[in-house]
Structure formats: C-alpha cells, structure tokens
Amino acid sequence: MKYIEEFQDPALARRLLDDIHATVTRPWALMEVCGGQTHTIIRHGIDQLLPEQVELIHGPGCPVCVTPLEVIDKALEIASRPDVIFCSFGDMLRVPGTGRDLFQVRSEGGDVRVVYSPLDALRIAQENPKHQVVFFGIGFETTAPPNAMTVHQAKKLDIPNFSLLVSHVRVPPAIEAIMQSPSCRVQGFLAAGHVCSVMGVREYPELAARHRVPIVVTGFEPLDILEGVRRAVRQLERGEHTVDNAYARAVRPEGNPAALAMLEDVFEVTDRAWRGIGVIPDSGWRLSERYRDFDAEHRFSVTGINTREPAECRSGEVLQGLLKPHECEAFGTLCTPRSPLGATMVSSEGACAAYYLYRRLELGTVPAAKTAATAPTAASAPLEASPVV
C-alpha cells in the first residue's frame, strides 16, 4: 500500500510536469478512457497543472454511466417483485432509471441489497432458497471476470435461484467507435490500466496502428496519470503511434490468464447499447448458451419497459468526448448530483459528477449568493503565511 503515497508525491509530480511542459510544442488532445482516471485528474487538479496545449478529453469508461436506461429500468422492475432479492454494487442504487432509482424501490418495500462482491449475492441465494436472487452485473473487463466466476459457481453448485442481469461492456470497440466518429478530436489514449491487467494489451496494437494514435496503458494515481500524459505527448511530438505500458507494476502484456479463461467459458461477445451513445458492434458480453439459465432477462419476463431519457441530458456527447460537462446547459442547474438527469452526474466515476463536485468554483456554477470574485489560489495565500502552519 505504500504505492498510494509514492504515487502522489508532489516533488515527483513537479518533475513530470516540468518534463511535459518542456516536451510540448503544439496542441494535443488526449482521451483518458476510464472514469476513475477522470476523477483522479479533476480531484487532484491535474488538468490545471498541465500545459494549455494538452487537452484531456473524458472518455466513456464509467460503467455506471454507460449502462443503458432500458437495463436500469429492467433492474427496477425486477427489484420491485416481491419474491426477488436484488443485489447490486452501491453506486448503481442512485442511478436514475425512468422516474426512479433503486433506493426508491427499496423505500417502497423492494428487497434491494448492496453487496461488495457478486459472491455475496450467491451466498444470499444459498441462504434464501425461496427467493430469486438477482445480481446486477454491469461494468467493463474489470468486473466481468468475478461475475463470470460467480455464474460458473452457481452452475457448479447447482444454485437454481441465482441469476445475473448482464450489461457488460468492452473497451476496445468503444475506442474504435470514438475514432470512427467524424467529429473525433482524440489524438492519443490513456488506456485504463485495470482493464489491461485483465485483458493484456493484445487488442491495442492494431487500433493504434490503424488510427495512428498512441495508446499508453495508464494507472490511476496522480503520478500514473502524469506519466501516461508524458509518454503520450512524447510519442505525438515524435510522430509515433505505438502501445506503451506505463502501468507495468500491474499489467502484464498477456493479461490475467485465469480471468480470461473464465470470461471465455461464461460469456460470449455481443453487440451492446451504451447509454447516450447507442449500439456499438461487438462491444459487450452476454452469458453464453451453456449459462443462459442464469440470465435474469431470460428468467424474468420483463415487459412494459417504457424508457424516457430526459431531453435536456447531453451525457452521450460527454461520454464521447464531444462536450465538456459544464458546456451542457443543464449542468449545475437542472442537473446536479442531488437531482441528476443522467448517469454521468450521479455515478462516482462520471465526468459530470467530477466537474460538479470539484470544479464549481472556477466554472461559475456556484449558487449566485455564494459566488466569489476571488480565485481559490489567491484565497489560500494567507494560509501559507500563517504563523501557526
């Protein structure tokens, strides 16, 4: 765990920043794919410290944000049934479906439980044989292997009252879709390190070559991000476009063979809709034929889903890097974490939530009565001079 402190070292960060400033000669637009990286960038103010020429564009890598509204509405419908115990990771509970969320279902009497592992849901199924126990299996290549293993276990142990509501998505097809967009401005990618720790990097060389973009596998601490930016900028300045692993302490090129074998056994690749973006070919996983009995969508006849996306929500453009959160007219007014229009505002990894939580002061979206004229850096100056500090 010493990694956490070491990878937040201000002196080392300064050296990396100096190197980036010295390297950059012209504007570059990089996309950090993962929402966790977005939050590190905004929470630590990294984008404020980079040269003006380096623009960070926030990518679609927030699993909560990209889960389609239809799937969330299905979850709400299933969770409302009296014989169902619906289990989910915590951050899905506040994501708005059409008109309500899972917290609301729970307050109306639904048995909705927060779990910290899909195996907890399987245990709940064993302990409650008269109930159907459903686990909300969303996320990228990071959460898919444990969910696959849980279904594998359910089949092996013959636990008939467990099922998975699946909405897993894959990163490389999303990168492909972003690069094919006519309005794409992305010139380089910071790939999500935890995804690569599972999948390895074998899917990336072809992408990097075909679209002539550097792809740097990047971790999640502040120094990881700065090193990722540094390597990407260095490649761009040299006209290179290779795959570079800047997260070697966690990522082996071949990935995690055990996790890959589990994915291969339980899931099969399918087209998948991404909330706010649309259907991306081959961008998701579903349970393979052998495990279809454990698919909640097969088990429960979910009908009458009538999804309604708020017309004002432009999170799709945010997810594609076409719009910065504060450029949306609803940002900070109609849409706040308190009353979110879209998942990008409610998810702990959502770009809109990051901007709202950490950046309101500079963006001028502080409530009028509280708006201040002085910049935060100036405000903190007296503290530096304090005799007691």
Partner 1 sequence: MSDTALDITGWTCPAPLRDRPRVVMGHGGGGALSAELVQHLFAPAFGGDVLAQLGDSAALSLGGVRLAFSTDSYVVRPLFFPGGSIGDLAVNGTVNDLAMSGAEAAYLSCGFILEEGVEMPVVARVAEAMGAAARAAGVEVATGDTKVVEAGHGDGIYINTAGIGVIPDGVDLRPQRVVPGDVVIVSGEIGLHGVAIMSVREGLEFGVDVQSDCAALGGLVRSMLEVAPDLHVLRDPTRGGLAASLNEIAAASGTGVVIHEGRVPVPAAVANACAILGLDPLYVANEGKLVAFVPREHADAVLDAMRAHPLGRRATVIGEAVDAHPGLVVARTALGGTRVVDLPIGEQLPRIC
- The answer to whether 30 and 56 are in contact (CB under 8 A) is yes
The footprint of partner 1 on this chain (CB under 8 A) covers a number of residues equal to 70
- The answer to whether 213 and 33 are in contact (CB under 8 A) is no
22 vs 378, beta carbon nearer partner 1? 378
Q: Is residue 359 part of the contact set for partner 1 (CB under 8 A)?
A: yes
Query: Which residues is 135 bridged to in the sheet?
Result: 87, 164
Site for partner 1 in 135-154 (CB under 8 A): 138-140, 142-143
**Distance (Å, rounded) from C-alpha 207 to C-alpha 172?**
8
Chain position carrying tokens 């409650």: 128
Q: Is residue 311 part of the contact set for partner 1 (CB under 8 A)?
A: no
Q: Which stretch binds partner 1 (CB under 8 A): 88-96, 154-162, 288-296, 309-317?
A: 88-96
The residue within the footprint of partner 1, chosen from 222, 276, 284, 321 (CB under 8 A), is 222
Q: Is residue 89 part of the contact set for partner 1 (CB under 8 A)?
A: yes
Token pair recorded at residue 289:
């034929």
- The answer to whether 122 and 154 are in contact (CB under 8 A) is yes
Q: Is residue 312 part of the contact set for partner 1 (CB under 8 A)?
A: no
- The answer to whether 121 and 89 are in contact (CB under 8 A) is no
- The answer to whether 161 and 284 are in contact (CB under 8 A) is no
Q: In whole angstroms, how close is the CB of 10 to partner 1 at the nearest point?
A: 5
Q: Is residue 249 part of the contact set for partner 1 (CB under 8 A)?
A: no
11 vs 311, beta carbon nearer partner 1? 11
- The answer to whether 368 and 376 are in contact (CB under 8 A) is no
Q: Which stretch binds partner 1 (CB under 8 A): 247-255, 297-305, 325-333, 378-386?
A: 378-386
Q: Is residue 48 part of the contact set for partner 1 (CB under 8 A)?
A: yes
What single-letter DSSP state applies at residue 373? Answer: S
The closest alpha carbon to 318, from 5, 1, 59, belongs to 59
The binding site for partner 1 (CB under 8 A) comprises 1, 4-5, 8, 10, 13, 36, 42-49, 63-64, 89-94, 103-104, 106-108, 114-117, 120, 138-140, 142-143, 194, 222, 337-339, 348-349, 357-362, 366, 369-380, 382-383, 386-389
